[in-house]
Every structure is written in structure tokens, then in C-alpha cells.
Amino acid sequence: MSHNINQEKLSSGRFTEATDAFVEEFTASIQFDQRMYKQDIQGSIAHARMLYKVGVLTAKEEDAIIKGLEHIWSEIENDQMHWSIKQEDIHMNIESRLTQMIGVTGKKLHTGRSRNDQVATDIRLYVRDQIDLIQQDLRRLQAGLVELAEREADTIMPGFTHLQTAQPVTFGHHMLAWYEMLVRDEERLLDCRKRVNSLPLGSAALAGTTYPIDREYTAQLLGFDRVCQNSLDGVSDRDFAIEFASWAAIFIMHLTRFSEELILWSSAQFQFIDLPDRFCTGSSIMPQKKNPDVPELVRGKSGRVYGHLVSLLTLMKSQPLAYNKDNQEDKEPLFDTIDTVRGCLRAFGDMMPALEVKRDNTYRAARNGFATATDLADYLVRKGLAFRDAHEAVGLAVAHGVKTKQDLADMSLATLQGFCEVIEQDVYEVLTLEGSVNARNHLGGTAPAQVRLQVAQAKTRLAS
């Protein structure tokens, strides 16, 4: 069987025969790494300026290279760039085009660097840029939850443990619980960014370079906080990508929790909320259906994000120092993780402020399941009973309520006194849902006053 071959690669000098056409396509990454063109060009411009600063390039060569790179940037932005699999990746495609434009000077750009440290730099720049965009998306969703919490600060709903009615809470308080999860996600994301923002350029292939490079200057030009201190580690480290994927897995887990509750609350059995029609679909056979497709799909996308984390961990497992071709496989899971996270954030950021809460239904549901039983126990303790005795008395009252299908608040005073004689008329103040939530007026409590206080603090934080 014959094979097509080519001899047009910039790095073909060592070889006596060209790469097999299938192998060429199999090993190429230009199909997916071209999305890093901005970062690749930014890195190359900074590298050219550094080479001029240390005397490797003349001013004329530096100017020609930078103008050429800026022109290539424009070509890519205007869909005028021809991407070639023969040049394998984003780095070689851009360098090849530059050399085509400005001649032999274009070949001088690669002085003092390798594709190994170049790709490591590109990925860090790309992830850093995406982290900054994801933080904006996160804050948009946080603001939507805070807005919803303020709107529903007085809305009473049942709070659950084990998915059983536990105590009444406010819907606003529940939204602020989601907000707190996202605050932690943002903190973790920014902490991850610190380790992303370290410059590997200058590590060259694995051992550094003999040229008098100034890595601190390059780091300054590219906005890196520090330089990677070891060239072997600099080209082969992908911890930052794994850490980002780990962050994404925790974040998407939070969104699955949000999604599950939205799915439950929008069901006919709960009817706590109404999702806007534009975030739902119908059934091909059942005309009454309104399916919560957006939260269901977000819930399902957790699998691919978790899978990408495992892929990256497995990719790096047992890799010897320094760079290995295995690392080409880091980009697709990383890119898809970023795309998935940003898509989910956009969907939730659009959906949550438009959520409609069915307040009558949430209130009615909170009256079922003896949600104020703990309030009655606390009342008895304040009257002098030991908590265990109060717990037993309330348990008997609840058992009577189950039998007679009466809520505690609906029982007569005489009936309640039959379970504990210290009960007086004022008991009904604590048995109301409003009394229950208002009584929890402390830091972190569900009282509407606390919700509004937390909303104000959140708005201040989001405005900072």
C-alpha cells in the first residue's frame, strides 16, 4: 500500500523521509489548538521584544516580526488564515506564515525557545484569560441569586433534611445558600489563577537556553506574577490544568444541586416555581408536558466535566520528565471543560432572575409536615422543661396530629395542654410559620431581616 508524504515542515531537517499522511493527521493538533491564536501571538510578541532587549534581534528585525504577527492576528480575526495540518499546530502555522511574509527574519523568532515551553505558555495564558471571563460569569449568576433572594425575602417555604419537611425557611434564605456556594467557587477559582499565572517560557525544550534571555522581562510583558523556577518542571507541568478541572468539577457539582432542586420544585408534585418557557421544552407525544430541559442538561453535563478531570489525571500519571507527546492530549478535555462551564453559567445566569416563585404553594407546603415542631420544643424549654422532656411531649403532639390530620397550629389550646400543662395561649405565636422564621433573626438565620442584611452585604461585595 502506498502512502502520501510531504516535505514541507519547518522541523523536517533531521528526517530522511517525510511523515506518513495518516500519522501527520493523527499527530496534528491544529484542529483544536487554533483557538489559542491570541495567546500564541501575544507570547511571540513578548518573546521578540525580549530578544531585542538582550541584543539577539536588531530593532529592524523586532519591528518586522511584531508587525508581521499583528498582521497575522488580523488575518485570523477576518478568517483569512490558511491552517495547514502539515505544520501540525498553532505555533508552527503562525511561524510558517510569518516566515512567508517577512522572510528569513521570521525564522529568528524561535531563537531561545522551544515548542515545549511555547505551548506551556500558551495554555497558561489561555486558561488565565478564561478564568477571568468565568469569574465575570460567576458574578453575574451570584447577582441574579441575590436579586431573587431580595425579591423573595419574606416568601416562606419548607426547609428539608432527607428530603423530608424539617423547618420553615424563607426562599430568599435558600437562594443565599446557593450564593454562598458560588462565593466559595469564586475564591477557589482565584486561588487556582495564582498557580496558573507562572511563566514557563525560557525553559526551552527542557534545559533552558544558552542565549542571555531575560525571563522576568518577558513575564512582565505578559502579566505573569512569577517565572517557573525549574526548566524541567516548566515544560512538563500540567498541575494548573488539573487544578482548574478539579475546580470545575466542584463547581458543576454545585450546579447539579441547584438543578435537582429546580427540577423537583417545578414538578406537579411540588409546584414551588415556574421556569420561563424559553428554558423548557415540550413532549413529542404528551401535550401537557413542560420539561425543565436546561437544569436537566446542566445536571447531565457534570459527567463530562468529572470525566475530563479523570482524563487529565490519567494523562499525567507516570509521565517521566520532561515533555512527552502525551501532553498534546491535555487541550481537548481542558477546552471542553471551559466551554461546558461557561455554557452552564450562561444558562443559569439567564434563567435564575426570570424564575417565578409560587408563594401560595410554598407557604401551603410549609404548613404540612409539622415544620414548627422544633419551635414548640424550644417554647417548652423556655417554660422550664428539659429539652428531652420537651422533645417527647412534642413527639406525642405530632403523633396526635398525624392521626387526626391536624397541624400543631390548628390544635386547640386544651389539646396542646394535654401533652404538656405549661403550654399557654402565647404558644400560637411560635406555631405560626411567620413566627418561626422571624424568630431566627441572627447571623446566618432564615429571618427575612437577616436575608435583607445578607443581601445588602452581598451587593456591596459584588460591587467591589
- Using one digit for the tens of pLDDT, what is the confidence trace for 29-84? 888 899 999 999 999 999 999 999 999 999 999 999 999 999 999 999 999 999 99
Read off the C-alpha cell for 71: 498582521
| Pick from 299, 390, 295: nearest CA to 347 | 295
Per residue in 395-416, is it b (16+ CB within 10 Å) or e — as a string?
A: eebbebbeeeeebbbebeeebb
Give the side-chain half-sphere CA count within 13 A for 348: 33
The residue assigned the cell 425575602 is 153
Catalytic residue chosen out of the listed positions 11, 74, 267, 283: 283
Q: Which residues contact 205 (CB under 8 A, 6 or more apart)?
A: 114, 116, 117, 235, 322, 323
Q: Kindly state the DSSP code that residue 241 receives in the 8-state scheme.
A: H
Catalytic site includes residue 74 = no
Identify any residues that bridge with 157 across adjacent strands, giving them in sequence order: 169
What is the rounded distance in angstroms from the CA atom of residue 100 to the CA atom of residue 107? 10
Share of the chain above pLDDT 70, in %: 94
Sign of dihedral through CA atoms 295, 299, 301, 305?
positive
Nearest to 91 by CA among 115, 65, 67: 115
For residue 62, give the C-alpha cell: 523586532
pTM of the model: 0.91
CB atoms within 10 A of CB 185: 23
Give the number of C-alpha atoms closer than 13 A to the C-alpha of residue 63, restricted to the C-beta side: 3
What residue ranges define each of the domains in the chain, with the CATH number in brackets? 21-111 (1.10.275.10), 116-363 (1.20.200.10), 368-463 (1.10.40.30)
> What tens-digit pLDDT sequence spans the chain (464 residues)?
333 334 355 555 665 666 678 887 787 888 889 999 999 999 999 999 999 999 999 999 999 999 999 999 999 999 999 999 999 999 999 999 999 999 999 999 999 999 999 999 999 999 999 999 999 999 999 999 999 999 999 999 999 999 999 999 999 999 999 999 999 999 999 999 999 999 999 999 999 999 999 999 999 999 999 999 999 999 999 999 999 999 999 999 999 999 999 999 999 999 999 998 888 876 666 656 688 999 999 999 999 999 999 999 999 999 999 999 999 999 999 999 999 999 999 999 999 999 999 999 999 999 987 888 998 999 999 999 999 999 999 999 999 999 999 989 899 999 999 999 999 999 988 889 999 999 999 999 999 999 999 999 999 999 99
Residue 162 a catalytic site member: yes
pLDDT digits (tens, 9 = 90+) for 83-108: 999 999 999 999 999 999 999 999 99
Q: One of 2, 82, 162, 464 is an active-site residue; which one?
A: 162
Q: Which three cell numbers, joined as nine digits, stand for 437?
A: 422564621
